[in-house]
């Protein structure tokens, strides 16, 4: 399956932005989907995930309450709604897919087999 992330851009602090991750070459129904991000000079970090079964969502503490991950299986698309953005959210955002549906390794990037190309989010202060 191929993943295409989009929706990034340059926004001001306090703004909102919605990222999309569209899949092709397969259906996302059976995949746990996640968003990761990587800021300059930093390691890639987990942002949010949503299970394929049950729809459970998990968030990094730094985005809890500000970001919302959702999926539309009919559109084969996953979204990341981001609000109250701050300069600390500046990063390249990646979507990823995994067949893992457990509760222990969803934040580990090695769990994910398929990755999108990334979309840049820049938040100015």
Query: What percent of the chain has pLDDT above 70?
Result: 100
pLDDT of 36: 98
What is the mean predicted confidence (pLDDT) over 78-91?
98
pLDDT at 114 over 90: yes
Task: List Cβ neighbours of 18 (8 Å cut-off, separation of 6 or more).
Answer: 7, 79, 80, 81, 82
Out of 70-74, 86-90, 105-109, give the one with best mean pLDDT.
86-90
Classified as helix, coil or strand, 115 is strand
pLDDT of 77: 96
């Amino acid at each position: 399956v191929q993943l295409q992330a989009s929706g990034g851009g340059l926004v001001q602090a306090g703004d909102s932005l919605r990222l999309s991750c569209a899949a092709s070459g397969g259906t996302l129904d059976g995949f746990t989907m996640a968003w990761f991000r990587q800021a300059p000079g930093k390691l890639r970090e987990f942002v949010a995930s949503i299970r394929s079964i049950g729809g459970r969502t998990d968030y990094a503490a730094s985005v809890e309450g500000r970001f919302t991950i959702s999926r539309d299986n009919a559109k084969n698309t996953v979204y990341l709604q981001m609000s109250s953005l701050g300069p600390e959210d500046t990063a390249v955002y990646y979507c990823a897919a995994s067949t893992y549906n457990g509760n222990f390794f969803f934040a580990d990037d090695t769990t994910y087999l398929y990755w999108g190309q990334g979309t840049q989010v820049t938040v100015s202060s």
